[in-house]
């Protein structure tokens, strides 16, 4: 049974039993390589806390969390200061969840935490496709010489799973080289999330799919609590709808990263994240 840290608050409606659950929520409170404003290590705790403010029932889906069995394993204990060791710790936990034939829902933390998670999921599902929702391309070769950085995470993922298995949506920020690289190496849809999704879903509906959702894909007006906000994004309703458009996909893993509570005075970012997790549990659990 996976029980990583003692927790005061779990995600709303989480089961006490690991064994029978289909989805396992786990936090990766890492924020060491961020390029602008740190603080995402508090993200997982905050998302759980505000989840208490949500109903367990989703009107749009006509489903209740009590109709799904999911477990909240707490946060992974990370040796801060050593990026490689942190990524290894995350890798081991995701490995365990996958081995138990469950779907990991990883809460960041910075986006770098997606790399070990996707690698582990990919090792079990070699036909994996990744849907990457983000304001930033995250395709830099390195950031200030560091190859393991939240600004380079999708480039690292592409090196493992092949860029043509990655669909990048909502992207509106990066350096020219990233977009040139994306042209030839990934499927990128700058600035758009809803328009390209139906076609993408049709293309990958027979494959296992991992969703990597950087909360900064949403406009800072709706999600100000993040380390690298970028104006010009989608609204809350649109990002929720994006999940609904993916309802027929075989989701085998997901992460939601970059929620940064110290810039989230109204808690609206964490609340949006908590709602996205609820809908994802109901859709994919």
**Residues of the shown chain interacting with Mn ion in the complex, contacts defined by CB under 5 A:** 111, 134, 136, 138, 214
Contact between residue 89 and residue 78 where contact means Cβ atoms under 8 Å apart = yes
Residue whose CB is less far from Mn ion, 75 or 110: 110
Smallest separation, CB 146 to Mn ion (Å) = 15
Smallest separation, CB 33 to Mn ion (Å) = 11
Smallest separation, CB 278 to Mn ion (Å) = 22
Smallest separation, CB 224 to Mn ion (Å) = 16
Residue whose CB is less far from Mn ion, 50 or 115: 115
Evaluated on CA atoms 118, 121, 123, 127, the torsion sign reads negative
Residue whose CB is less far from Mn ion, 72 or 138: 138
Residue whose CB is less far from Mn ion, 111 or 155: 111
Phi, psi for 241 (deg, rounded to 5): -65, -35
Residue whose CB is less far from Mn ion, 214 or 230: 214
Whose CA is closest to 119, among 134, 104, 137? 104
Smallest separation, CB 150 to Mn ion (Å) = 6
């Amino acid at each position: 049974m996976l029980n990583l840290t003692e927790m005061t608050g779990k995600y709303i409606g989480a089961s006490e039993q690991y064994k029978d659950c289909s989805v396992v929520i786990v936090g990766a409170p890492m924020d060491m390589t961020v390029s602008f404003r740190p603080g995402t290590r508090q993200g997982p705790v905050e998302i759980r806390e505000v989840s208490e403010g949500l109903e367990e029932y989703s009107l749009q889906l006509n489903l209740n969390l009590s109709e799904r069995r999911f477990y909240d394993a707490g946060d992974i204990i990370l040796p801060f200061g050593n990026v490689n060791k942190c990524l290894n710790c995350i890798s081991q936990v995701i490995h365990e969840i996958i081995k138990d034939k469950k779907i990991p829902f990883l809460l960041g933390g910075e986006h770098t935490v997606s790399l070990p998670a996707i690698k582990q999921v990919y090792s079990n599902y070699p036909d994996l496709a990744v849907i990457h929702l983000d304001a930033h391309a995250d395709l830099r070769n390195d950031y200030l010489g560091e190859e393991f950085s939240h600004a380079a995470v999708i480039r690292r993922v592409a090196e493992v799973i092949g860029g043509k298995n990655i669909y990048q949506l909502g992207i509106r920020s990066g350096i020219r080289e990233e977009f040139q690289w994306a042209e030839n190496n990934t499927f990128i849809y700058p600035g758009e999330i809803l328009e390209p999704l139906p076609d993408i879903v049709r293309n990958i509906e027979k494959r296992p799919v991992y969703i990597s959702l950087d909360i900064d894909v949403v406009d800072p007006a709706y999600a100000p609590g993040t380390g690298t906000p970028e104006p010009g994004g989608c609204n809350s309703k649109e990002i929720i709808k994006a999940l609904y458009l993916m309802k027929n996909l075989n989701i085998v893993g997901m992460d939601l990263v970059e929620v940064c509570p110290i810039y989230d005075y109204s808690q609206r970012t964490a609340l949006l994240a908590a709602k996205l997790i609820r809908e994802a549990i109901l859709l994919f659990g």
